[in-house]
Homo-oligomer: A and B are copies of this chain.
Amino acid sequence: MSVLIAGSIALDNLRTPFGSRNYVLGGSAVHASLAASFFSPVEIVGVVGEDFPKEHLDFLNSKGINTNGIKVLKGKTFHWEGFYEYDMNMAHTLRTDLNVLASFDPVLLPEQKKTPYIFLANLDPDIQMKILAQLENKSLVVADTMNYWLENKKPSLLKLISMVDILVINDMEARELTQEPNLIKAAQIILGYGCKYVIIKKGEHGALLFSNKFAFSAPSHPQTELVDPTGAGDSFAGALIGYLSAVKDINFESLKKAVIIGSVIASFCVEDFSIERTKNLTKKEILMRYSSMRENVAFGDIESNLIKEGGF
How many whole Å from A181's CB to the nearest CB in chain B? 4
- B222 near A299: Cβ-Cβ < 8 Å: no
B-chain residues with CB within 8 Å of residue A39 when the two chains form the complex: 306-308, 312
| Cβ 8 A contact of A260, one of B40, B215, B299 | B299
- B304 near A37: Cβ-Cβ < 8 Å: no
Query: With A299-B260, A307-B286 known to touch, is A217 a contact of B216 (CB < 8 Å)?
Result: no
Residue in A204, A246, A253, A311 whose Cβ sees the most chain B Cβ within 10 Å: A311
How many whole Å from A112's CB to the nearest CB in chain B? 16
- B297 near A215: Cβ-Cβ < 8 Å: no
A186-229: CB near B (< 8 Å → 1, else 0) gives 00000000000000001011101000000111111011101000
B-chain residues with CB within 8 Å of residue A224 when the two chains form the complex: 182, 184-185
B-chain residues with CB within 8 Å of residue A74 when the two chains form the complex: none
**Cα distance, A62 to B290, chains bound together (Å):** 48
B-chain residues with CB within 8 Å of residue A220 when the two chains form the complex: 217
Residue in B closest to A34 when the chains form the complex, CB atoms: B311
**Cα distance, A259 to B222, chains bound together (Å):** 17
A110 within 8 A of B: no
How many whole Å from A91's CB to the nearest CB in chain B? 15
- A302 near B287: Cβ-Cβ < 8 Å: yes
B-chain residues with CB within 8 Å of residue A86 when the two chains form the complex: 181
- A63 near B287: Cβ-Cβ < 8 Å: no
B-chain residues with CB within 8 Å of residue A202 when the two chains form the complex: 205
A57 within 8 A of B: no
